[in-house]
Amino acid sequence: MKTKFFLSIVAIFFAFTSVSAKDIKSATLKVEEMVCELHEAKITNMLRFEKGVKEVKTDVPSRTVVIKYDAEKTTPAKLIKSFDKVKCTAVLVSDVQEKEKK
């Protein structure tokens, strides 16, 4: 009896964890207008409020922005379009699936 109960609890746990796994991706964008810390701050602040964005990393010398995002809530095209708000042009360099953390 205890074994059946334990197995049913384990089955329910795995059913919920597999359903709740998110499709997290990472997009690397090239932003030629990001030449100083002021532009970097504008871009970072703008991206914080975009739907689905989980994390933003910028690098001014290489003029790149790496965005971790929920692929169920946004796309690279939407993220690129959001750069219009800060009068910048972004170009997608790469878009990769993030590895699940266990």
Give residue limits of the domains in the chain: 22-97
pLDDT tens across 39-51, in order?
999 999 999 999 9
Confidence (pTM)? 0.75
Average pLDDT on 61-69 reads: 97
CA pair distance 71, 95, nearest whole angstrom? 11
Contact 100, 21 (CB under 8 A): yes
pLDDT tens across 20-36, in order?
557 999 999 999 999 99
CATH no. for 22-97? 3.30.70.100
